[in-house]
Amino acid sequence: MKPAVIEGAYLRDLLAQPAAVTATLTALNHGPDLARFRAAFTSGQLQRVVLTGMGSSYTALHPLQLQWVRAGRTVVRVETSELVHHQPGWLTPETLVVAVSQSGASAEIIRLLELNRGRAPVIGVTNTPDSVLARAADACVPLAAGLEATVACKTYVASLVALSWLEFALTAPDRWEDAAAELRDAANAMGDYLVQWREHVGSLAALLGRERATFFLGRGVSLAAADTAGLIMKEAARCPAESSSCAAFRHGPLELLGPATQVVVFAGEALTLELNRRLWRECCAAGAHAWWCGVDSAQPAFRLPAHAAPALPLLEILPVQMMTVALAALGGREAGQFARASKVTTVE
């Protein structure tokens, strides 16, 4: 029997993601002028970058970190809660802080702004133009993703886009136009995938088991989707689910593989695709329910539309979102409806 999907606000937000990406791209045309940060970057006055956020605002920072580290920059990602209480040593005038918060008002962000008080320059990335973060940051990058009911989805993809813009704005402004065109195409590709949402959710409901232990595995840029998956499966579907790098999974957790586990392996970037495929095959051979998520997946729900490189994280999260809807339906629930969590986390 096909489980009934309760079509609520979270599902409407999921389907509005392509429009959110387009709106973000438009808003970024009026984004802040970052010339002085660019100059400080080039001159070496800014020696290191700290990327910080909580929840999916934190996971969305992964691709930017990789891009800048690949370019030889010193860039770390630190959860805001750890930064303020256990690693305040990062906050110096030579450090650029990029703080992402959809609400711009979570408990950790307020603590960070109080603690920092001009120690380190801060670029805020937020969906709330009049928030504490937007007002206190030295520059504010708008998400303009529109209202979001519960679990981050529109604001997550909007954050990925805004952080991609930030990369170019600070280190290669002349190459942004080309990247923006690829991201506009990605919005269309997202739409192509989401138009089939009923088929995807239906097929996943037949494939997935709520009682199985669930793992999301990837490398490099795909760790953004894997980590966000671990988060939204708990938050939107109330299903425990873990993420790790494919390599870390071999160092112990592999021991769990068997019919009681389900695994999604993200194909990811070409660089490590064959290593990932080998792990996926081993998961299948061990009797686990294992799915390959990439442009060449045999399962339509896990098959990504063809895309340019910067679009990968925008597309990889879509099959996971479909999983949350399918698993919530299997549990007789509306996906993404909060019982305990809240849209803005106000307690540290």
What is the binding site for a copy of itself (CB under 8 A)? 47-48, 54-56, 58, 66, 69-74, 76, 79-82, 85-90, 92, 106, 108, 151, 213, 219-221, 223, 230-232, 234-235, 238, 240, 242, 245-248, 250-257, 269, 271-272, 275, 278, 286, 338-341, 345, 347-348
Between 66 and 308, name the residue whose CB sits nearer to a copy of itself: 66
Torsion sign across C-alpha atoms 16, 237, 63, 182: negative
The distance of closest approach from Cβ of residue 57 to a copy of itself in the complex, given in angstroms and rounded to an integer, is 8
Between 146 and 253, name the residue whose CB sits nearer to a copy of itself: 253
Between 303 and 333, name the residue whose CB sits nearer to a copy of itself: 333
DSSP 294: B
Q: How many angstroms separate the Cα of 147 from the Cα of each of 53, 102, 137, 189, 208?
A: 19, 10, 22, 22, 31
CA nearest to 151, candidates 228, 214, 223? 228
- Strand 139-142 to strand 95-100: parallel, antiparallel, or no bridges (unpaired)? unpaired
DSSP 308-336: -GGGHHHHHHHHHHHHHHHHHHHTTS-TT
Q: What is the enclosing helix (H) or strand (E) of 282?
A: helix 273-285
The distance of closest approach from Cβ of residue 256 to a copy of itself in the complex, given in angstroms and rounded to an integer, is 5
The distance of closest approach from Cβ of residue 10 to a copy of itself in the complex, given in angstroms and rounded to an integer, is 12
Between 213 and 225, name the residue whose CB sits nearer to a copy of itself: 213
The distance of closest approach from Cβ of residue 195 to a copy of itself in the complex, given in angstroms and rounded to an integer, is 28
Q: Which distant-in-sequence residues (6+ apart) come within 8 Å of 64 by Cβ?
A: 51, 75, 98, 163, 164, 166, 167
E strand spans, the chain: 48-53, 75-79, 95-100, 122-126, 139-142, 213-218, 242-245, 261-266, 289-293
The distance of closest approach from Cβ of residue 3 to a copy of itself in the complex, given in angstroms and rounded to an integer, is 20
The two tokens of residue 323 are 């999983």
Backbone angles phi, psi at 100, to 5 degrees: -110, 130
Contact assessment for residue 3 and residue 323, using Cβ atoms and an 8 Å cutoff: no
The distance of closest approach from Cβ of residue 229 to a copy of itself in the complex, given in angstroms and rounded to an integer, is 12
Contact assessment for residue 268 and residue 66, using Cβ atoms and an 8 Å cutoff: no
Between 71 and 206, name the residue whose CB sits nearer to a copy of itself: 71
User: How many whole angstroms separate alpha carbon 302 and alpha carbon 318?
Assistant: 9
The distance of closest approach from Cβ of residue 155 to a copy of itself in the complex, given in angstroms and rounded to an integer, is 13
Chain centroid to Cα 232, Å, comes to 10
Between 107 and 194, name the residue whose CB sits nearer to a copy of itself: 107
Between 135 and 278, name the residue whose CB sits nearer to a copy of itself: 278
Between 18 and 55, name the residue whose CB sits nearer to a copy of itself: 55
